[in-house]
Amino acid sequence: MKKIYLDNAATTPIAQEVIDVMHESMLENFGNPSSTHQFGRQAKNLVETARKNIANLLNASASEIIFTAGGTEADNLILHNAVNNLDVKRIITSKIEHHAVLHTVAFLQNTYNVEVDFVPVLPSGDISLEHLEDLLTQTDKKTLVSLMYINNEIGNILPLEQVSDLCNKYNALFHSDTVQAVGHYTINLQKTPIDFMVASAHKFHGPKGVGFAYFKKGFGIQPMFHGGDQEKGARSSTENVHGILGMEKAFLIASETLESDMIAMNTLKVFFMKELLKINSNIRFNGQSSNIDLSSCTILNVSLPIKNELLLFNLDLYGIAVSGGSACQSGSSKGSHVLSEIIRNDIDGYTSIRFSFSRYTNKEELNYTIQQLKKIL
């Protein structure tokens, strides 16, 4: 049986070059970066070099990068700091954010009585910038805006510069969950002055269990973990040296091939959409995922004109791995909170699937997927 992986928004296969770097590190760099002897100094030097290289790719400073265990921890670190350290009293977000943001914001609201406002989401899945500006004018309370750059379910791209400009205009802090963007889209933090952003290595062919938070220079960081002084006191825990070096390598590769990868994935995405519509013209594309200018090249969210709760299972039997929503909620019987927000009517008789691509996806795999879908539909 063929094995076709089309769930790259959930996680990506690790690049062989990344595996090689990590394997070498496991053999040679076993020292604790906090140790002062030569083994510790060697590990520390490699971690700091990785920090500088990652910062350079974002046009940031090395001191602004804090290594974490992934995007969820990074989002938590930023949001908790906003409230507990930077005196934020109000958070503006949307109901289609990743749960790493939504659940954390709900916790902060319940625990610290933070005021929370939700900017309306248009039927297209886009954020209403007009309503965002209206919300920003309504209070003098110190405010943080938290809106994701690329939605992990429908792939909509936030107009990052416009949101950043609005936040600057009204003196609000701006946090963006950029997990689905890092390694796939250029982020220049000098051109687009975001205050906080996050990354997770396994979304761009790096290892799981490692990521980073970006804190714009000038913001002190209050740790969530205690018991050590790593990351300049921002995160207590021995650094994941092998993971950090793997992330560095994955990010360097992704940055070098970013333009060609984007063209290749968009080409495959357009091909796949055309072939899907040949099967059934009633197939719908959710959010902006069918518009290659307004959505990620990696994500295509599709509503198929069939009510089949076993559709994902059936595709899996054919060797095809896809997602019905966010794989971070796998095992949950709940539907997609993103699709529930943007598809309010006329959803009976449809089943939604997220197909997501990587630089390793090829046309042969998509043709095979189309053939199996024909059998099901």
Task: Give me the active site residues, please.
Answer: 328
Cβ–Cβ < 8 Å for 125, 288: yes
Beta strands of 201-271 (E only): which ranges? 211-215
**Measured distance CA(66)–CA(374) in Å, rounded:** 47
Which of 244, 232, 243, 239 is CA-nearest to residue 64?
A: 232
Which of 220, 287, 183, 261 is CA-nearest to residue 80?
A: 220
Quick one: CA dihedral 21, 27, 33, 36, positive or negative? negative
Place of tokens 């518009």: 291
Cβ–Cβ < 8 Å for 108, 83: yes
Neighbouring C-alpha atoms within 13 Å toward the C-beta of 175: 35
Cβ–Cβ < 8 Å for 205, 176: no
Which of 68, 63, 91, 66 is CA-nearest to residue 79?
A: 91
CA 29 → CA 48, 190, 336, distances in Å? Answer: 14, 33, 42
- Number of residues that make up the chain: 377
Residue 198 backbone phi and psi in degrees, to 5: -140, 165
Which of 287, 58, 303 is CA-nearest to residue 181?
A: 58
**Measured distance CA(7)–CA(21) in Å, rounded:** 25
Cβ–Cβ < 8 Å for 114, 59: no
Place of tokens 């934020």: 88
